[in-house]
């Protein structure tokens, strides 16, 4: 058994959630405090933290043995020097599939039907029209990152009649549903010219940063849509602005940008064929996401106390 002395919970947990954490670690003192309110004193004696905190505060947590993130992304915490090598790090992959996939799917459908342009017309009191639109029926859709979120997105679009092609590091044997095809990154040059929609849920890694550059965009099918719900640094912003301005791409749906927040003078704001939301697809906006995160974190606390392997361990 691995005992926990002090368990700090920084997610917006309810009283019922806190009781679940206490039941998973009966001998622990469970403290609930939101991450924005934390000070160095709050983390100095804790040995387990559930939730994301400012990475700078980790230097003030000498007793920390395990950090369980509430986010799926862990890149800010996996960087060299942020956490001592002996501290366990795990994330909440599996909690955000519904929220992020639905958000990106609706953004893509909005671009396909040019609803964003009609919304702009509404604000300007213009009764106009914007010509032909696209349909998800029969569309070839490429998903970069065919994991939890990518699979949710594929299920959504496949139900609307799209042909779903996934890209991941390795291709599993057996059933690949909801995808119709699975490929690796090596196949991108062959796939991109045939895809009506390319959507990414990739994390930020040395291999993915700047992947969507001028060369990548030039390989995409003329009139295609690019969507990004992973990390903003996947895309070279200036190259995307050029592809949108030239008309090579019909649109871009972006919940993440590089940089964030996107500066007011960035040309991407002014592209009428860009649809931007401020990194809000995940977080706590869809209530089920918090329940999913709590389920993952409580189960990992139970596993930690029972000396069982943790879910979603991140190497750092």
Q: Does 169 qualify as catalytic in the annotation?
A: no
CA dist 200 and 99 (Å) reads 15
Catalytic residue among 152, 163, 231, 271: 231
Contacts of 213 (CB under 8 A, 6+ apart): 236, 239
Q: Any idea of the CA torsion for 116, 275, 273, 182, to the nearest 10 degrees?
A: -110
Nearest to 248 by CA among 292, 303, 208, 193: 193
Which residue in 117, 147, 162 sits closest to 229, CA to CA? 147
Active-site residue 311, yes or no?
no
From the list 65, 130, 279, 311, the catalytic residue is 279
Which of 19, 34, 169, 260 is labelled catalytic?
260
Whole-number CA gyration radius for the chain: 21
* H or E stretch at 233: none
Q: What is the DSSP letter of 212?
A: B
Catalytic residue check, 260: yes
CA dist list (Å): 16 to 5, 7, 21, 135, 268? 21, 16, 9, 44, 44
Cα separation, 168 vs 75, in Å, equals 18
Q: Looking at the annotation, which residues are catalytic? A: 231, 260, 279
């Amino acid at each position: 058994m691995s005992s926990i002395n002090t368990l700090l919970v920084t997610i917006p947990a309810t009283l019922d959630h806190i009781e679940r954490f206490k039941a998973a670690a009966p001998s622990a003192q469970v403290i609930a405090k939101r991450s924005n309110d934390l000070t160095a004193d709050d983390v100095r004696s804790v040995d387990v933290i559930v939730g994301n905190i400012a990475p700078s505060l980790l230097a003030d947590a000498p007793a920390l043995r395990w950090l369980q993130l509430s986010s799926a992304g862990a890149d800010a915490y996996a960087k060299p020097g942020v956490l001592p090598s002996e501290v366990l790090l795990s994330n909440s992959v599996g909690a955000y599939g519904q929220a992020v996939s639905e958000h990106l799917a609706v953004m893509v459908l909005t671009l396909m039907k040019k609803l964003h342009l009609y919304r702009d017309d509404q604000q300007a009191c213009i009764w106009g029209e914007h010509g032909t639109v696209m349909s998800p029926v029969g569309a070839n859709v490429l998903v970069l990152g065919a994991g939890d979120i990518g699979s949710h997105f594929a299920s959504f679009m496949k139900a609307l009649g799209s042909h779903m092609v996934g890209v991941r590091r390795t291709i599993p044997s057996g059933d690949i549903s909801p995808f119709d095809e699975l490929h690796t990154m090596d196949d991108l040059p062959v796939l991109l010219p045939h895809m009506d929609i390319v959507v990414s849920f990739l994390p930020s890694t040395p291999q993915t940063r700047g992947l969507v550059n001028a060369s990548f965009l030039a390989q995409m099918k003329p009139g295609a849509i690019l969507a990004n719900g992973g990390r903003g640094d996947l895309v070279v912003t200036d190259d995307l602005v050029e592809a949108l301005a030239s008309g090579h791409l019909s649109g871009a749906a972006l919940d993440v940008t590089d940089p964030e927040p996107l500066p007011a003078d960035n040309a991407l704001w002014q592209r009428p064929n860009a649809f931007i939301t401020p990194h809000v697809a995940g977080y706590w906006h869809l209530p089920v996401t918090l329940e999913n995160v709590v389920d993952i974190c409580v189960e990992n606390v139970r596993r930690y106390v029972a000396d069982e392997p943790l879910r979603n361990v991140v190497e750092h």
